[in-house]
Amino acid sequence: MAEFNIAVVSGDGIGPEVTAEAVNVLKKIGEKFNHIFNFKYVLAGGCAIDEFGVCLPEETLEICKQSDSVLLGAVGGPKWDNVENKNRPEKALLGLRDGLGLFTNLRPATMYKALANASPLKPEIVEDGLDIMIVRELTGGIYFGDRGYRQGKYGEEAYDTEAYSKKEIERIARNAFDVAMQRNKNLVSVDKANVLESSRLWRKTVDEISKEYPEVKVSHMYVDNASMQLVRNPKQFDVILTSNMFGDILSDEASMITGSIGLLPSASIGDGRLGMYEPIHGSAPDIAGQNKANPIATILSVAMMLKYSFKLDKEAKAIEDAVISVLEKGYRTPDIMSEGMILVGTKEMGKVIADEINM
Ligand code: IPM
Ligand code: MG
């Protein structure tokens, strides 16, 4: 029997509702497979600003660091739109990623067959589903580079810098190649090497690391072309490796074309076991507290936690299978509702998935 300590950052908006369902699903997994999951709830984001005046209290970061993994709901909302920049709820996310050393962000763009008609692309382009894994560098690049104000050619100007060290590129590239080895062994590295010096180092370093993975087919693509290829022929992609900023943009695009954007999880991992798992959707303040939010992305996030942090593949698969089966039985939250399907709320969706695990 194994025991795991999980820090839960429910956050704002629909965060607490969706994490509650994911926690219930984990408890079910614990019962069925004989594991103990302990949960410790901590504040970050807007709720932490309200309670402590800071978006990421030290205690939160400390508890997360000491845990085996972090489950995060969502942070932010219009209520905190006017707080000063360094204390915006989003800063809590960046602080957690950086503070926990989570330099690799895994964002699967998976199409669920039951929702295929929700893809905005023509059926022939997405026939037989989509399954892309975006590996985004998460603690470097322009998000964390030097920034500020200075005097420029036209007077005062603001600037942000994109910088990558060889070491940062090597470690994210290795993680991406490892992921590719578990999948279809096809990796496209996305950069802007025709313009950016940092991209030229990126490309050269990825090529060097690729020698350690002779089985993986590697190619390079400029980011403008990649964004076009994603809608033209998304099936050509297996693993996409890219920088923090390009990954932010491409992962939104990739998730949208699956038609399952509200269902997609993500994992942020580093060198060790500790990872942070969260749905890719936001805090949806407009539907918060109404039992309308779709908990599936958060439930699939704990499946990623089981797989990547705890190496419990069987347990992870039990969750994924339960989600697919519930979708096939026709259960739908309002965001994915269509004619003839069974409309359920957040709690009911969580419950049918948990019950499915028991079957
Ligand atoms: C994401 C989000 C964040 C990011 C924001 C909220 C800081 O867009 O996780 O993709 O840009 O990384
Ligand atoms: Mg984003």
CA distance 145 to 316: 36
Q: pLDDT confidence of 358, banded at 50, 70, 90?
A: confident
Average pLDDT over residues 24-39: 97
Any ligand 1 atom below 6 A from CB of 93 = yes
Question: What residue ranges in the chain does DSSP mark as E strands?
Answer: 2-11, 35-41, 69-74, 104-110, 131-137, 147-152, 155-160, 186-191, 217-222, 239-242, 265-269, 275-279, 331-332, 342-343
Residue 248 a catalytic site member:
yes
> Is the pTM higher than 0.85?
yes
Q: pLDDT confidence of 292, banded at 50, 70, 90?
A: very high
Flag whether pLDDT at 116 surpasses 90.
no
Flag whether pLDDT at 99 surpasses 80.
yes
Of 28, 68, 143, 307, the active-site residue reads 143
Any ligand 1 atom below 6 A from CB of 321 = no
Average pLDDT over residues 262-289: 95
Ligand 1, atom 10, lies closest to the CA of: 248
Pick 116 or 187 by higher pLDDT.
187
Contact 254, 230 (CB under 8 A): yes
Any ligand 1 atom below 6 A from CB of 162 = no
Probe residue for ligand 1, chosen from 9, 248, 253, 280 as the CB with the greatest number of ligand atoms within 8 Å: 248
**Partners of 241 in the beta sheet?**
135, 189
CA distance 281 to 266: 10
DSSP 222: E
DSSP 308: I
Of 178, 252, 321, 335, the active-site residue reads 252
Flag whether pLDDT at 261 surpasses 80.
yes
CA distance 37 to 225: 44
Residue 217 in marked binding region: no
Q: pLDDT at position 21, please? A: 98
Residue 192 a catalytic site member:
yes
Any ligand 1 atom below 6 A from CB of 253 = no
Q: pLDDT at position 77, please? A: 95
Q: pLDDT at position 262, please? A: 85
